Amino acid sequence: MDAQGRGRAGNIDPADQWVLNPHTGEYELRLAPSAPQSAVPGPRRAAPGRAGARRARTASAAQGAAPAPGDTAPAPGRDAPAPDRTAPPRRRRRAPEPPPPGRRGRRPAKKTRGRRILLWTGGSLAFVVLATAGTAYLYLEHLNGNIESLSDDGASTGGFRKDQPINILLIGTDKRTGAGNEGYGDAGSAGHADTTILLHVSKDRSNATALSIPRDLIVDIPDCPTKQADGTTKVIPGEQGVRFNTSLGQDGRTPSCTMRTVTELTGVTPDNFMVADFNAVKTLTSAVGGVEVCLAKDIDDPDSHLKLPAGTHTIEGEQALAFVRTRHSVGFGGDLSRIGIQQQFLSALMRKLKSNDTLTSPSKMLKLAEAGTEALTVDSQLNSIGKLKDLGLELGKLDTKNLTFTTVPVVDNPNETVKSTVVLSEDKAEQVFAMIQDDVSFTAVEQQKKKESAAVAARLKGAKADPADVRVRILNGGAKDGAAQQTLTWLQNEEGVTKSENAGDAPEDLSRTTLEYAPGQADEARRLADILGLSGSAMKPGESVTNAQGLPTMTLTLGKDFKGAGVKLNAPQKAPDVDKSTADKVQCAK
């Protein structure tokens, strides 16, 4: 029963009913005293011993009767029970000592506003549910019943871990499910991966990257083992050179197939997936009371039905859905323009979710819990409020200023006369994928540079030898098979490093690529580091070795981080020139 049901509501903030227990370090629900009781007392048992006798004598004297020693006066109309003469006298509590003269007593510590806010924070809608009292268990069961889950079919890592980077695949489908959505999407379609974002959160939770994957990107979809309704597994054949959005819904493909396609594309295996339909945008924005967006110009889009003048607006429900579906009235009018407006919307939603206006409102948080569990379909590793709560607490540690939105770098498909699809911009895309694989956020690029000591950074400074004078032997120390020979061919034919040789496999595998050189080879090392994109920490001063001709040479060992010949290894040191924005800043759609 809630506070109002007990007559305790008044103007009490529910958060004030949670008090920190100093002995356990946990918050406990402590309700205010009950409403005033009836003036008619209930039956009371007389107190034993001298105190009871004294009260009895007083009552008897008031009635004009002389009580017997030890007897008690019965209440009118009731038989009084016999006193318990064997029970020990009740111990009196010691009265608190008065404060010293001239000093006032110490007031109880007042709970800070920050502590009340802490109760409702944590980054998870489910956390609020766990903080409810009385009906908490039943409500948790209700929310668990809201959650729809699908098998990950072995396409995930098995679920996120608290001590590792987190990669969540967020999929927005255009399937026309839910009331009021008949006019959206493709009639009769099983839905597509219409909006897809790979959210990477760093291991230390200090930064994150939200990478949008264009729905019209040409990709290869791998074979997808998929669990069927009868419990059997069916392998859905893959396809080459098709739109990314067909990785979901088409030919019976489930979100696990979109997972496999993302892994094939980026080299990153997602930990979990979440799928949202049209209703998710409507219900989540309404639950928080709307989100604020900005338009640099008037928009009147007949397809999305969005009609708004330039300026700042608070949108929710149907209007919010129209906003994220708009594309013909912004940018170049294509899907890439729509991605930009979706990223702006998600930034605004993130700011609203993290605002005090939302975090300190129990009603909004409970609405979010209800809306979130009804609108999302998750993988089988996230199929309970408890698991969603744990994930939410991890995501809640992130500061929005360190959440970067960007898009997979693409160019128009050169095989099309009418440009309707896109393909990877290979060099830029590989750098973006490498940053996620190496757990480096765009906002952390400059910070990463500063971490290198002056001595290490100095290895890159100074004169660089001509490529033709660079002598190096190449070892495979954990890279893919054939990497040493491919690198040799690339260095000789593309970079002019003709004095190079393939020296086979290294004695042991290395996690990172290294370049060992003697002091007299520093200028050669700097040139090769520049070509390969090696950081100063990858350069290892050492002793001179000889090559197959008996000449002094450097040793390049390709580690597990090696991405391929021609792909720069210094992704953590230099972010590619791609469009990006951070979630803490308001940007206006153009």
Specify the pLDDT at position 225. Answer: 96
Per-residue pLDDT of the chain (590 residues; tens, 9 = 90+): 444 333 344 444 444 555 556 665 555 555 444 444 444 444 444 444 444 444 444 444 444 444 444 444 444 444 444 444 444 555 555 555 555 554 444 444 444 444 333 333 333 344 443 343 334 566 677 878 888 899 999 999 999 999 999 999 999 887 755 555 445 555 555 678 888 999 999 999 888 899 999 999 999 999 999 999 899 999 999 999 999 999 998 899 999 999 999 999 999 999 999 998 888 888 888 888 898 988 888 888 877 788 889 899 999 988 988 888 887 667 666 778 788 888 888 888 888 887 767 777 778 878 888 888 888 889 999 888 888 888 888 888 888 788 888 999 999 999 888 778 999 998 889 989 998 998 887 775 555 555 656 667 778 889 999 999 999 999 999 999 999 999 999 999 999 999 999 999 999 999 899 999 998 999 999 999 999 988 888 899 988 899 999 999 999 999 998 988 988 876 444 456 666 666 666 567 65
**Could you tell me the CA-to-CA distances from 34 to 264, 301, 494, 535 in Å, in that order?**
62, 57, 83, 68
Q: How far apart are CA 575 and CA 570, in angstroms?
A: 9
Domains and CATH numbers, the chain: 148-443 (3.40.630.190), 454-558 (3.30.70)
Helix/strand/coil (H, E, C) string of 478-504? CCCCCHHHHHHHHHHHHCCCCEEEEEE
Q: How far apart are CA 199 and CA 286, in angstroms?
A: 24
Specify the pLDDT at position 333. Answer: 60
What are the backbone angles phi and psi of residue 390, rounded to the nearest 5°? -60, -40
Q: How far apart are CA 445 and CA 447, in angstroms?
A: 5
CA 257 centroid distance within chain: 22
Q: Which amino acid is at 369?
A: A
pTM of the model: 0.58
Specify the pLDDT at position 118. Answer: 38
β 208-213/403-407 pair status = parallel
Range 114-120 contact pairs with CB under 8 angstroms and sequence separation of 24 or more: 115/20, 116/13, 116/15, 116/16, 116/360, 117/15, 117/356, 117/359, 117/360, 119/15, 119/18, 119/27, 120/15, 120/359, 120/360, 120/361, 120/362, 120/365
Q: Compute the half-sphere exposure of residue 146: CA atoms within 13 Å on the CB side of its CA.
A: 18
